[in-house]
Amino acid sequence: MVAPSSKCCSLFVDKLPNGSEKGTYYALDLGGTNFRVLRVKLEGTRSSTLEHDVYRQAIPQDLMTGSSEDLFDFIASSLKEFVEREGDISELSLDRRWELGFTFSFPVKQMSVSSGTLLKWTKGFSIEDMVGREIAGCLEEAMTRKGLNMRVAALVNDSVGSLALGHYHDTDTVAAVIIGTGTNACYLERTDAIIKSQGLLTTSGGMVVNMEWGNFWSSHLPRTVYDIELDADSPNPNDQGFEKLISGMYLGDVVRRVIVRMSQESDIFDPISSKLSMPFILRTPLIAAMHEDDSPDLEEVRRILRDNLEIPDVPLKVRKLIVKVCDVVTRRAARLAAAGIVGILKKIGRDGSGGIAGGRSRSDQKMRRTVVAMEGGLYTGYTMFRDYLHEALTEILGEDIAQHVIIKVTEDGSAMGAALLAASHSSYPVDSVQLL
Ligand code: ADP
Ligand code: MG
């Protein structure tokens, strides 16, 4: 079973938002394929709907491997344009700066709730001059260069943002899982259970533990030749092993590697397409589309093979074989993610067994309602992945327990949660914040 990675770290998130927050806050979400800017107005009472504006944009590929200044200037410019377009500058009094939650979803050594240094890049990003630098400071410098007077009040990763939003809406939320371009998870732990205690108490007496589970590995995890080759060819070999088996950045490429092997070892794709040898040409949404092709003739599979891989017409039985490959790769990913979720539930005693430390048996332990916040395009956009994940959860936990475990999608939660955390860690006391 999956246990937290040795690289996991407790966080300085000491005040989860509770609804008393007031004012207008911004958030930036950077950490994968898409980049989001968001603005939320908080009224000081917990609300089931939070009024917010959001702007999404794909991150230009060249910025992922360029210089830190270019990347941060780009996000500061997008933020400034958003503020000018959506915001009302007159809302801000002269003695106040806007406050921002920054969702930065790469491994970070957290120094305080609003600062941390980058440990390493993942998910295809590689900007060497950034490693070891303090992230919030880099963003604040870029914002200053762009003439934007804003302070980073919270620096979190996507899973922590999702947990904050999930917990705000539903206090039974005990963990958050991200399955998008990459994957990560965090959970609420009782402070006394944390050995590496370096954070602060939350108001509820718990602490948010950022697992960095994308980097989890175990000798029990079987790795195929395709996984080994994908890892060796990646910008971060020997790193993020769990992520490479599970997340959206990689699944399409695992499938592509299997098809390459099939084309080399048989003549079913004769002549061999040169497109097929291009890494990452087969994106995960394409394997989802092939997998979910329910036309009797597998027309969508035919179209994708032709248009995206330049593989001319292949017989139906070969198209069926490709669907099978998508199925196997996706099912493995979903089941591993489910095992990770059960690992968390076990750790915090929500798997119906009374917890790792608890001696009580399943039968005398009443299972509490347990909510896991979920976010990420792979989970929300790929029905078969989602179905396999749920199926595995039920299989591992048993139906009696699984019915108490609710997976709840927190849309834009990673950004929204960061804005809420900026509010709960605002340097302006609630009373001094004008209701806008
Ligand atoms: P991030 O915040 O990490 O950029 P998102 O949550 O926006 O990620 O999800 C984007 C990723 O999710 C894409 O890179 C892709 O891998 C995956 N994805 C998005 N839509 C689908 C889909 N329909 N089917 C399969 N995977 C998808
Ligand atoms: Mg995200």
> What is the pLDDT confidence band of residue 93, given thresholds at 50, 70 and 90?
low
Number of structural domains the chain divides into: 1
**Residue 100 counted as domain residue:** yes
Is the per-residue pLDDT at 431 higher than 90? no
Range of the domain at 38: 9-169+412-432
* Phi, psi angle pair for 314, to nearest 5°: -120, 155
Is the pLDDT score of 54 beyond 70? yes
Asked, for residue 428, whether it belongs to a domain, the answer is: yes
Residue 219 maps to a domain: no
pLDDT at 9 over 70: no
Q: What distance in Å separates the CA atoms of residue 176 and residue 178, rounded to the nearest whole number?
A: 7
Q: Which residues share a beta bridge with 183?
A: 179
- Over the stretch 206-226, which tens digit does the pLDDT of each residue have? 789 999 999 999 999 999 999
pLDDT at 327: 98
- Cα separation, 302 vs 246, whole angstroms: 26
309 in any annotated domain? no
Which atom of ligand 1 sits closest to the CA of residue 382? 24
Both tokens assigned to 381: 């956009």
Q: Cα–Cα distance between 274 and 27 in angstroms, integer?
A: 42
> For 102-208, where are the alpha helices, taking DSSP H only?
135-145, 158-169
pLDDT at 252 over 80: yes
64 in contact with ligand 1, CB cutoff 6 A: no
Largest CA distance in the chain: 73
In a domain, residue 416? The reply is yes
Q: Does 48 fall in a domain?
A: yes
33 lines ligand 1 (CB under 6 A): yes
Q: What phi, psi does 184 have (nearest 5°)? A: -160, 170
21: domain CATH number is: 3.30.420.40
Stretch among 155-159, 188-192, 394-398 having the lowest mean pLDDT? 188-192
Is 78 a domain residue?
A: yes
pLDDT at residue 358, as a whole number: 45
Residue to probe by mutation, ligand 1, list 181, 247, 290, 414, most atoms within 8 Å of CB: 181
Separation of CA 32 and ligand 1 centre (Å): 9
Catalytic residue among 29, 36, 78, 335: 36
| Bridge partners (DSSP) listed for residue 41 | 24
Helix (H, G, I), strand (E, B) or coil at 154: strand
Structure tokens at 88: 């009302």
The pTM assigned to this predicted structure is 0.92
Q: Answer yes or no: is 113 within a domain.
A: yes
